[in-house]
A and B are shown apart, each in its own frame.
Chain A
Amino acid sequence: MSTLIELSGVSRIYTRGGETVRALDNASLSIEEGGFYAFMGPSGSGKTTLLNLVGGLDRPDQGTVVVGGSSIDAMSGAELAHWRAENVGFVFQGFNLIPVLTARENVELPLLLSPLSRKERREHARNALELVDLTDRADHRPSQLSGGQQQRAAIARAIVSDPRLILADEPTGDLDRASADGVLDLLAKLNRTLGKTILMVTHDPRAADHAGFTVHLDKGRLESVDEKVAAAGA
């Protein structure tokens, strides 16, 4: 496997209430393309900060973030937006579906940035919803869906534009066990069958079991990267 993401000496420093917090401290990490990575650590360890930096939602104060050969920390805002549209799909803990749109319309949303026709967009959205087994709820709004269904719709939205990288921030945090297992199985399937590189932040060791690699962080520092050979090859 080739390296998809390279973080070198990355630091992210926040100032809150006059106090300086090093959310991420001199982190260096290589992520292989096609890998499924779980990021674990206590609250405030820098997991989400790292995920946001890799996804171009935030910028490092020090160091470089290279994804697929592109140094995203040097991109302008518009370039970064364009890059995100093409390369990254996000799955959030709170689902973050647009409440006034149906599941299908939410899934179609990223495709508005593509040159696809309306018919093609519909086709792509239908395929993505089929993949997450949500076709029968396509015309329901988020408020009419269960948590697990909302998260599956969010996953469909994340994969609809066929990005190389899926970033999931506590995707099972708001779900019951059964729904969480369904979402984790789905992520594993995307990794296994479609070769998507998945970075998942989680507190849950059972969720991390689905990943091939577990990255441990503490107080903004990378502690270790463990590879689970059996899970990665499954």
Chain B
Amino acid sequence: MPLRLIFRNLLKHKLRFVLTVAALGMAVFLVCVLRSLVVALDAGVRAAKSDRLVVQSAVSLFVDLPLSYETKIGSVDGVRTLTQFKYFGGTYQEEPGYFAQFGVDAGRLLEIYDEMEIVDGSQEEFARHRTHCLIGKVLAEGRGWKVGQRVPLVSDMFPRADGGPWEFTVAGIYRSRSSTVDESTLFFHFDYLFESVESGSAEGPNGAGVYAVLLEPGADPVAVMRDIDAMFQNGPQRVQTTTEAEFNAQFVTMMGNVPFFLSMIGGGVLAAILLAVVNTMMLAGREQTRDAGVLKSLGFTDGAVSGVLLTQSLIVCLLGGLLGVAAALAVSEPLAAVLGPNVAGFALTSEVILQALLISLALGLLAGLGPAVRARRLEVVEALRAEV
């Protein structure tokens, strides 16, 4: 393979070469970012555990379940333990940057979510003190919070009667070994919330948002879901029990099937750039018609001559792909910071990088195929007569 000829042909029209590679780089950059968004949005679904279920109101996720359901659900065969999840919706000192807060069963949270690991402070401290909380590592690092930090939160859903904020103290910082639990959340005692509302020192709905259920080893999730749903078939509040994966998928589709739209945009960008690169490579192929004839006359086979054009296309697309991946890597962290907990876990994974490079190669193959086949079929005599 005359490599020197391949590179010289690529650089023959430097501006065209640079523009083509840059356009490819931009397309691959967009694909990387969009794909990373899709991966981040789907991460909770893909990483969901099969031994966890979620019980929610059959009417809507935003309708609370009675607290009396906790004992009843706990009595179903196959259920090992469970916790409420109550969304708090608090804000911290009018600072920008949202983070989620949930009221949970402090004694059971880490048993149910064993992917959570305390990296500072202790679970015992959290369980022992009613106003203590656990915060994720990303949240702690982002805000500079440490164990012992006091976190005052104001909640429109649960305003305090005295008009002041809810006071929480950080008892521990956790990290998560899975994307099922993001590291930007604050977990506090549900009992603290419940008792405050019961005593009248705070206002708000006094029910559980959802129940997260951990199954006994070997329990049949389908049977447990059926039994839980059947138990409340006649009220007072019908429930819908789903696997954790289905529950997480709900959140993704609530945003209007964002992954699908992102994938569509990515696909559209790729299709557009493919057409542009095909056009460029066809033009290059036509310009090199006589060269193809010369090579054939010298004894290069049809395959070798078509290989020259195909390799040019592959090199252009691979360079564009590398440029796009490099750009995506460069902005990955700043972009993750901008997206924040709204798209927790946004990162350019090696899987996405590999996909981007494979897509680049596929683009190169598709764009180079036409000129390569044409060069292969060229009759030497006709090619040598070509006007270039």
Q: Which residues of A contact B (CB under 8 A)?
A: 52, 55, 57-58, 77-78, 81-86, 90, 92, 96-101, 105, 109-110, 112-113, 157
Contacts and interface: CB of A to CB of B under 8 A. Distances in A.
Contacts of A85: 298-300
A109 B298 contact: yes
B2 A109 contact: yes
Nearest to A55: B297
Interface of B: 1-2, 4-5, 8-9, 11-12, 290-291, 293-303, 379-381, 384
B85 to A, nearest CB: 67
Contacts of A105: 4-5
Contacts of A97: 294
A105 B297 CA distance: 16
A168 to B, nearest CB: 13
Given A57-B381, A58-B381, A92-B384, A81 B301 contact: yes
Contact of B381 (A52, A99, A100, A101): A52
A110 B380 CA distance: 16
Nearest to B379: A58
A96 B301 CA distance: 18
Contacts of B297: 55, 57, 84, 90, 96
A84 B380 CA distance: 12
B302 A77 contact: yes
A157 B379 CA distance: 21
B381 A96 contact: no
B298 A100 contact: no
Contacts of B294: 96-98
Contacts of A96: 290, 293-294, 297, 384
A157 B381 CA distance: 19
User: Nearest 4 A-B pairs (CB), nearest first?
Assistant: A85-B299, A100-B8, A84-B299, A57-B380
A133 B297 CA distance: 24
13 contacts: A52-B380, A58-B380, A78-B301, A78-B302, A81-B296, A85-B298, A96-B294, A98-B291, A100-B8, A101-B5, A105-B4, A112-B2, A157-B298
Contacts of A110: 298-299
Contacts of B11: 100
A101 B4 contact: yes
A109 B5 CA distance: 9
B300 A81 contact: yes
A105 B6 CA distance: 13
Contacts of A109: 2, 5, 295, 298
A173 B11 CA distance: 32
A228 B294 CA distance: 33
Given A57-B381, A98-B5, A113 B12 contact: no
Question: Which of A52, A58, A84, A112 is packed against the most chain B CB atoms within 10 Å?
Answer: A112
B78 to A, nearest CB: 69
Nearest to B294: A96
Contacts of A58: 379-381
A35 to B, nearest CB: 22
A73 to B, nearest CB: 15
Nearest to A58: B381
A24 B381 CA distance: 15
A109 B295 CA distance: 8
Nearest to B296: A81
Nearest to A141: B8
A98 B4 CA distance: 12
A90 B381 CA distance: 12
A113 B299 contact: yes
A52 B379 CA distance: 12
A103 to B, nearest CB: 14
Contact of A101 (B8, B293, B302, B303): B8
Contact of B301 (A77, A86, A90): A77
Contacts of B5: 98, 100-101, 105, 109
Interface centre among A57, A81, A105 (most CB of B within 10 A): A81
A99 B1 CA distance: 18
